[in-house]
Structure 1
Amino acid sequence: MSDSATEAGAVRLRTSVGRWVLLTTVLGSGLALLDSTVVNVALPHIGRDLDADLGALQWIVNAYMLTLAGLILLGGSLGDRYGRRRVFVIGVVWFALASLLCGVAPDAEVLIAARALQGVGGALLTPGSLALIQAVFHPDDRAAAVGAWSGLGGVAAAVGPFVGGWLVDGPGWRWVFLINLPPAALCVLVALRHVPETLPDGGTAGAPRGRYDVSGAALGALSLAAVTYALIAAPDRGASAWVIVPAVVGLLLGVAFVYVEGRRDEPMLPLEVFGIRQFSAINIVTLFVYAAFSGFFFLSVIQLQVVVGWSALEAGMALLPTTVLMLLLSARSGRMAQRIGARIPLTVGPLLCAVGMLLMTRAGAGAVYWRDVLPGLLVLGLGMVVLVAPLTATVLASVDVTRAGLASGINNAAARAAGLIAVAALPLAAGMGPDAYRDPQAFSRTFDRAMLLCAGLLVVGAALAWATVRAPERRVCHPECEYHCGVTSPPLDPGDA
């Protein structure tokens, strides 16, 4: 690694080192992308095997999103402080060990705790994979490297539901987690052997660089956890102290988070960035649309298995059109938004998604795929294609180029936090009880109400976009958006290394 061609910022994409770097970053980010799509497919089987109620299934999803959303900004700053490769490798190892614990969990409580640990690993490796590419590759090759990373990662996300369904119906749901171990081991070996360490300004690992706001991260995560607990507990416990106390505590912790971030010299979340009207507006739009997306993908795979009666593989395959459309058409959507501006795509996209979710109410008992399910998924996928790339481009265009990484990280965290709250609140709002997923008729009725609520969120998001989006976009299509097909959050941008 001493050759100048392998020094940080000088690696060329077509060299052997460049290909190794691309491989390890794709493997690392692919782990998190796969996890975000395969676990939902396994939920009914996990519930039956571990005798878990709907609240436990919500926590299996939300425990991961909670730690990921609460710590993803901190994860990026840790890479700046201690070395991007070092933190990335720690994240991959952490994620793999947590996946192993998920795979051997004897009950729902252990699985939920292991999922929370998985989210910590995801918060370390997710921003680190793209930051490594930005820092390691020669400036002339960075756009091509990010485009290749985005495309290969998009393939991983697209095949996730198929892989998850095949594993659940075959060796069992535990292999949804255990499958992470071989690629994680390969990722670590390649990173340690072939990826140069990178630090800002040529510094050394351990130098006091970047933000290191543990108190802010803890307050933010605890606030989300308390509110989430109250929402998930409400259907079973009602308006009791078990619900009211954590709800109030969560709100107070949220206030404390804002207070602490406003007083720190180097906060994890600089509050002054929200003084930019366009940035604040687009993040509010993000909250609404990604809340709807997360609620939909959480409930739809349960609907297809419990109510329609499909296997896990059939349910996973059924959802492929949305991610495939995003994989194939996101780049064209980004270029179109450059020509016509983001206001129309950010208005039309959520409305198309709303129509798709309303069409999914046809997916009841005895549904036929091509007639009752596919039309809704195609319309939803087209809406996501129209929406996601312009949304990310507008976020990045609303701030100075030197703050692009921060802006993208905040937008990504906002989407994940919205998904966290939606998965907790949507079943409550739709009237789903703790045992709803065990009763096909009851679940089908509440699923229809949930789709109406998701469509309403998207309509509000469209109206806000039409009323607030004004700022011009940059003239380039961000390569990290070109093949993005993650359904839980917008793509990250590392900013300038």
Structure 2
Amino acid sequence: MVSPAERRYTLLAVALGSSLAPFMVAGLFVAIPAVGEEFTADPVVLSWIPTVFFLAAAMFLIPFGRIADIYGGKRVFSIGLAIYFISALISALAPTAPVLIGARFLTGVGAAMIFATSFALLGLILPDSERGTALGVNIAASFGGFALGFLAGGLLAYYGTWRVLFLVPLPVALLAVGIIRRYLRGECALSRGTRPDLPGIALSTTTILLLMVGLSLLPAVQGAAALVAGLAALGAFIVHEARTEDPVLDIHLLLRNRPLALANAAVLAYSAAASAYVYLFSLYFQYVQGFDARLAGSLFLVASLVTASLVGYAGRLSDRGSPHLVATAGVAMTIAGLATLSFIDPAMPVAVPVFALALIVVGIAFFQPPVYNIVIGAAERAMYGVASGLVETMRLLGMTASMAVTIVAFALFFKGMAITGETVPLLLGSMQTLFRIYLALAVVSLVMTWLTGRAGRSAP
């Protein structure tokens, strides 16, 4: 039996761990022009700095979720925090853009270990009546990390150096490890005794790598070839998982559990629609509107605080019933914001895109806790690690796809040129195209979210 004190400390440790990666991601989003200036990098290279983090996290989430089920969520969570620590040091000392990109990939591996276990740990130690609220608190911590990252990134880029950004999380990572090792007794390994599906892990990571890299290389022949190879690897993965005794992902579970499958599809489409907007707004504020890093970071700070303040309320609403309705309302608000931004141009008053930004962040707050509550609630307790890893994989796959599409758009519009005063029209043209693509994806997510509720009502 887990005591109330142990539950509180575990929630604190998980929240601290969940805030670290968003802190670094957000800080880099704001500081990206300063990074580009120091390394003399074009928009495509700069786009890979956040993209490679999402790619690594998406590649390893499901494998680490299953490994956590077998060997223990607390152990995997703690190792992930240690990897955070090491990769942050490498990022702070990176001499070139490729080294920074490699360090961000390593951070993504650590993030996969954290994301794959955080919701599972909360699901295992909390009663069902408190699960939605706790998920809301954890997501609020994530957005709190975003908020502080935006603030720190703006201030450090303006007054000092973006490199200090990676030194800030180091003591937080140590504190989170200490709490989880001290106050969470025993180990959470509900599938202990089974073997990790190594061929399935290899096929799943290869599939994601080929599909996401291939998407980012379109319309080049290499991109199409990588996509074809990725689809072949996906087919092999599905066949293997359907036949193996201890799969890394139970394909049959998704086939017979429609709420779980539809909720994950909704998360994938929504994340693809509502992720790269932060990166695009950072460029828009600093290159089009002429804001300095401090002001851009402050605007993102306010947006993140708004989201963090609302996710707890959205989590409580999802505990009271009909979480799919709360999530659907969130998607609808995001659609309204993206529809406005699809017409962005130099003549548009800055208040209009700021209002659209507000709609998007409020939509995110009302979408995430309810849909995660649906996913965890639809899974068996012994598969919490896999369910947690699966939904986070869908989120990060969507984020990677969102950035990959951004890379393609920038490559087509800029053709190797840097963002300057002369190329600002190219930036705005690419943003219009991208926001229209995101709008279509958000509509798909709306349909999937609504169908999730209907599937839940019809489930036996």
- What is the TM-score when the length of structure 2 is the normalising length? 0.86
Greater relative CO (CA pairs within 8 A, separation 6+) = 2
Residue 407 of structure 1 is matched in structure 2 by 387
CA contact (8 A) 1:282 1:469 kept: no
Do structure 1's residue 12 and structure 2's residue 1 form an aligned pair?
no
Residue 208 of structure 2 aligns with which residue? 224
Which structure carries more helix by proportion?
Answer: 2
Report what 1:306 is aligned to: 287
Q: How does 1:417-496 map to 2 (within 5 A)?
A: 417-429=397-409, 431-433=412-414, 434-435=416-417, 437-438=419-420, 439-466=423-450, 469-472=453-456
Q: Report whether the alignment pairs 1:96 with 2:80.
A: no
What does the per-residue CA deviation read over 1:151-187, in whole Å, with 9 as the maximum and x for residues that have no partner?
A: 5454333333222222222321222223222222333
> What is the rounded CA distance, in whole Å, between the counterparts of 2:20 and 2:309 in structure 1?
21
Q: 2:112 and 2:48 mapped to 1: Cα distance? A: 18
Deviation per CA, 1:104-132, whole angstroms, max 9, x where unpaired?
Answer: 11112111111111111112233334545
In the alignment, the residues of structure 1 paired with residue 334 and residue 126 of structure 2 have an alpha-carbon distance, to the nearest angstrom, of 37
CA distance change for structure 1 residues 110 and 214 in 2, over 3 Å: closer, same or farther?
Answer: farther
1:223, 1:250 within 8 Å by CA — same for their partners in 2?
A: yes
Residue matched to 1:257: 237
CA separation of 1:61 and 1:444: change in aligned 2, threshold 3 A: same
Q: Deviations over 1:221-274 (max 9, x none)?
A: 22222233233333xxx533x333323222222222222222221111110122
Aligned match of 2:18: 29
Question: Contact between 1:83 and 1:197, CA under 8 Å: does it hold in 2?
Answer: no
- Alignment partner of 1:49 is 2:31: no
Q: 1:214 to 1:314 in 2, by over 3 A?
A: farther
- For 1:277 and 1:135, how far apart are their aligned partners in 2? 23
Contact 1:91–1:120, Cα closer than 8 Å, also in 2:
yes
Q: Distance in 2 between matches of 1:352 and 1:142?
A: 25
Q: Which of these residues, 209, 222, 234, is aligned with residue 193 of structure 2? A: 209
Instruction: Trace 1:323-472 onto structure 2 (pairs within 5 A).
Output: 323-336=304-317, 341-342=322-323, 344-360=325-341, 365=346, 369=350, 371-400=351-380, 403-429=383-409, 431-433=412-414, 434-435=416-417, 437-438=419-420, 439-466=423-450, 469-472=453-456
Cα distance in structure 2, aligned partners of 1:404 and 1:194:
21
Distance 1:146 1:465, change over 3 A: closer
Contact 2:68 2:189 in 1 (8 A): no
Q: Residues 10 and 407 from structure 1, CA distance in 2 versus in 1: closer, same or farther, beyond 3 angstroms?
A: closer
Is contact 1:226-1:246 (8 Å) kept? yes
Whole-angstrom distance in 1 between the partners of 2:392 and 2:226? 26
Change (3 A) 1:334 1:217: same
| 1:269 paired to 2:284 | no
| Unmatched 5+ stretches in structure 1 | 1-8, 202-206, 474-497
Q: Counterpart of 1:106?
A: 95
Percent identity between matched residues is: 26
Q: Distance in 2 between matches of 1:140 and 1:382?
A: 24
3-state SS of the aligned residue for 1:470? helix
Deviations 1:270-289 (A, max 9, x none): 10122123332222222211
Q: How many residues align?
A: 453
The answer for the alignment partner of 1:485 in structure 2 is none
Q: Contact (CA 8 Å) 2:331, 2:363: kept in 1 or not?
A: yes
Which residue of 2 is the match for residue 279 of structure 1? 260
In structure 2, C-alpha distance between the alignment counterparts of 1:448 and 1:274, rounded to whole Å: 36
Q: Distance in 2 between matches of 1:283 and 1:86?
A: 26
What is the CA-CA distance between 1:63 and the residue it aligns to? 1.5
Q: Within 2, Cα distance between the matches of 1:194 and 1:344?
A: 36
Q: Secondary structure at the match of 2:220?
A: coil
**Contact persistence 2:216–2:408 (CA under 8 A):** yes
AA of the residue aligned to 1:358? A
Q: TM-score, normalised on structure 1?
A: 0.80
Amino acid at match of 1:220: S
Aligned to 2:298: 317
Instruction: Give me the whole-angstrom Cα distance separating, in 2, the residues matched to 1:405 and 1:367.
Output: 46
State how far apart, in whole Å, the 2-side matches of 1:457 and 1:146 are: 25
Question: RMSD of the alignment, in Å?
Answer: 3.3
Give how far 1:97 is off: 0.6
Which stretches in structure 2 are left out of the alignment for 5+ residues? none
1:5 alignment counterpart: none
Task: Output the CA distance in 1 between the equivalents of 2:227 and 2:137.
Answer: 44
Q: Which residue of 1 aligns with 2:217?
A: 233
